[in-house]
Chains A and B, each alone.
Chain A
Amino acid sequence: MKKLLLGNAAVARGAFEAGVNVVASYPGTPSTEITEEIVKFNEVYAEWSPNEKVAAEVAIGASIAGGRAMSCMKHVGLNVMADPVFTVSYTGVNGGLVFCVADDPGMHSSQNEQDSRHYAKASKIMMLEPSDSSECKEFTKAAFELSEAFDTPVFVRLSTRVSHSQSLVELNDRVEIPLKEYEKNPAKYVMMPANAVKRHVDVEKRIADLTNFAETSEFNTVENNGSKIGVISAGIAYMYAKEALGDSVDYLKLGMVYPLPEKKIVDFAKNYDVVYVIEELDPIIESHCKALGITNIKGKDEFTLLGEYTPAMIKKAVLDENAPESIALGEAIPMRPPVMCAGCPHRGTFYVLKKLGLVVSGDIGCYTLGAVAPLQSVDTTICMGASVSAAHGMAKARGAEFNKKLVSVIGDSTFMHSGITGLVDIVYNKGNNTVIILDNSITGMTGHQQNPTTGYTIRGEETKQVNLIALCKSIGIDNVVVCDPFDIKAFEKVVKEEVNREEPSVIIAQRPCALLKTVKYTGHCKINDNCRNCKMCMKLGCPAITIKNDKVVIDNTQCNGCGLCLNVCPFGAIEKEEA
């Protein structure tokens, strides 16, 4: 039976069919749906772990114990889990172990555009790269087999367009794989120097074996159309090339992007006047070709290092054919950047922080949007958790007066991910920072995943809820204040008090995400005759409040009746209209 599946859903299906036992992940666009789809299969244990490092270690443990295991993450999540990854390359596996990493060329939802293939090479772990949903399923299934056959973890690399495109997939049944025997084997699993030295020898042998495998593997296929032009490509870029160039060129499609074959590439390249290497982001395949001494290569001299490719771009570069005519009316079209939703709890927080003119050390989540107009309060966004530790560094560099104008903002899930350690650092090293935990009761940006602070597991089962107040107090934060960011006056008072305090403090800004089903705002807000057009409410940057004919109006189709604007209007000119 064929079904239309998202690339991510197809990866989940592949893992399911391969008999995966344990899947542990931390959400991150564009990888999130893999683990969400896994949950639909009751045969598989799945969890949201607090961060990618923990998730990877859970999967590693499951593999050593003899189960088939997988961990899925976005590209920057791979940075977080890099530590165990580099060493599990040495230990190898017991049950099949797959790391599925989704890159985000074009940065649809990311803070950088790193190319995960570097990690495969650096950690000496084999990497497969599917180019559509059908391959997502097949490659993931094969990854488990290869992992056990070559005693190695295996990466499956995706990119946004593969993860988030639906295409047809043939479904098969799950094969139940019995757990592998668990035997104590310190020479393989205790990576202290004497053992690791020996394992490194095995790693190098394995890479040599895998390179041989790459020469003949069906993952790497040649498509001969009798052309004078050759194309070497992989992943989604192969699909773009195929769309753009059709049968007018010959292809070497690489489904296995590390280790790359040598003889196969040399033999392919020598048949052509010119060989185009078409790969998004970094010149990994191209550099490999050049290292093999191939000279008739065109790669990044024709194609950009930046963002996503398109078939039109490839057609122009290879065939010098222009894109079809298009309608261009020449008028400037305003951008539509993402915004915080109507009813977003973060809006109250940033309204106050902006009003107080504070320096805001920001983090990763919906609240990164606190950086854009009109709220524009976020000063920095680096990575998960950096809001807390970077603010500590800022305060140490610039001193006490600067610190009175400085806060960190971090979501509940991000705080659990890697904010805690920064807070411990502040306490331990006599910092005096104010950290605001934006507790909206869910992991928001990635589409509502549970986390340790919500009290529910990935399957929606009730579980112990991490108590943020008790947690902060236990590490030595004596001042923990809980406040509703929609109570603008109270929230402003709390922030002023805490930044001026000569001790570190945590403010928990507590109000659930407006998109949660449990949040039931009703009716709409409406401007009444008291309006003096002062435009104070416009400072909220609410998508529902806009100006028509120089008068403030509230768009009923956008307003969800959260009522925050009532709290900022100085003239009582906004009222609730019940539905």
Chain B
Amino acid sequence: MTKKIMIVGVGGQGTLLASRILGNTVIGQGYDVKVSEVHGMSQRGGSVVTYVKYGEKVYSPIIDKGEADIILAFEMLEAYRALPYLKKGGKIIINNQQIDPMPVITGAAQYPENIDKKISGNADAIIVDALSLARQAGNTKAVNVVLIGVMAKNSEIEYEKWIETIKTTVPEKFLEVNLKAFDLGYNS
């Protein structure tokens, strides 16, 4: 059975690194893997969606509505937007950070209220304050690795395998902060 994971967020939040850590961890488990990334214009502060799929044989790199086993959301509005992609019984991990999109900033639209509660009421949701944990780890940019930590805790893959990938994926000078961030997420 193919496992389908969706990572959603705002361009610039580091979703790409998160999907690469995830992808490289699961190939270590002997699976076929596909990771679909977003490059180009959307990276400039737009909604970004990456898909990670693994299993015996993976064909399509994308995930359709109602299919995702796990959604890892870096921002609440993006979690809300991605919710229809969650399969029945799937899990959504949400960083409770709010980043206003331009239509909200200009007053053309309203940022929906209580997104976390609305999602929790309708799906198996884990709400994390990843920004505070990243700050605690020493760099607010480590939100992505905090969230990978939360996901790792909820996966069947051992702790050590994740650490191994982080060590080979993250540049040396950010390694300490990222390992700390991973642990804070893992133990949250």
Q: Which residues of A contact B (CB under 8 A)?
A: 2, 4, 6, 29-30, 32-33, 108-109, 132, 161, 164-168, 236, 239-240, 242-244, 310-312, 323-329, 331-341, 366, 369, 372-374, 445-447, 538, 541, 543, 545-547, 555, 557-558
Contact = CB atoms under 8 A, between A and B. Distances in A.
Nearest to B44: A338
Contact of A167 (B58, B67, B131): B58
A161 B64 contact: no
> Which among A327, A337, A545, A558 has the highest number of chain B CB atoms within 10 Å?
A327
Contact of B112 (A132, A333, A373): A333
Contacts of A33: 39
B38 interface: yes
A546 B85 CA distance: 29
A334 B111 contact: yes
B136 to A, nearest CB: 14
Given A167-B32, A557-B140, 6 more contacts: A32-B39, A242-B59, A243-B59, A326-B87, A336-B102, A557-B99
A446 B64 CA distance: 27
A334 B113 CA distance: 12
The 10 closest A-B CB pairs, nearest first, are A109-B40, A29-B40, A324-B66, A338-B46, A334-B109, A326-B66, A336-B101, A243-B60, A165-B61, A312-B64
A287 to B, nearest CB: 25
A166 B32 CA distance: 11
Interface string B115-138: 000100011000000010000000
Contacts of A334: 77, 101, 103-104, 108-112
A312 B65 contact: yes
Interface string B77-112: 110110111111000000001011111111111111
Nearest to A163: B39
A339 B44 contact: yes
A166 B33 contact: yes
Contacts of B18: none
B60 A311 contact: yes
Given A4-B24, A108-B38, A557-B131, A327 B84 contact: yes
Nearest to A373: B106
A329 B110 CA distance: 16
A109 B41 contact: yes
Given A168-B27, A326-B84, A546-B100, A339 B64 contact: no
B116 to A, nearest CB: 13
A503 to B, nearest CB: 36
A164 B37 contact: yes
B88 A4 contact: no
Given A327-B84, A445-B40, A557 B45 contact: no
A555 B99 contact: yes
B46 to A, nearest CB: 4
Contact of A338 (B27, B42, B140): B42
A165 B36 contact: yes
Contacts of A369: 44
Contacts of B80: 329, 331, 333
Given A327-B122, A366-B44, A369-B44, A109 B88 contact: no
A168 B39 contact: no
B11 interface: yes
> Which among A6, A168, A243, A333 has the highest number of chain B CB atoms within 10 Å?
A333
Given A333-B77, A334-B104, A167 B61 contact: yes
A197 to B, nearest CB: 43
B40 A239 contact: no
> Which among B11, B32, B97, B99 has the highest number of chain A CB atoms within 10 Å?
B99
A159 to B, nearest CB: 11
B86 A327 contact: yes
B161 to A, nearest CB: 15
B42 A164 contact: no
Given A167-B34, A311-B64, A325-B66, A339 B45 contact: yes
A532 B81 CA distance: 35
Given A243-B60, A341-B12, A341-B45, A166 B100 contact: no
Nearest to A339: B45
B66 A109 contact: no
B163 interface: no
A324 B83 contact: no
A166 B101 CA distance: 29
A336 B59 contact: no
A373 B106 CA distance: 7
A554 to B, nearest CB: 12
B10 interface: yes
30 contacts: A4-B33, A6-B37, A30-B40, A33-B39, A108-B40, A109-B41, A164-B36, A164-B37, A165-B61, A167-B32, A244-B60, A310-B60, A310-B62, A311-B64, A323-B65, A327-B84, A327-B86, A329-B118, A329-B122, A333-B81, A334-B103, A334-B112, A336-B101, A337-B103, A338-B42, A339-B45, A372-B102, A373-B106, A541-B106, A555-B100
A4 B32 CA distance: 10
A74 to B, nearest CB: 9
A23 B40 CA distance: 22
B28 to A, nearest CB: 10
B39 A239 contact: no
B83 A327 contact: yes
Given A4-B24, A555-B99, A109 B33 contact: no
Interface in B33-75: 33-47, 58-62, 64-67
B105 A545 contact: yes
A167 B33 contact: yes
Given A327-B83, A374-B106, A558 B62 contact: no
> Which among A2, A374, A447, A557 has the highest number of chain B CB atoms within 10 Å?
A557
Contacts of B12: 341
Nearest to A166: B35
Contact of B46 (A239, A337, A445): A337
Nearest to A376: B106
A340 B105 contact: no
Contacts of A546: 100, 104-105
B23 interface: yes
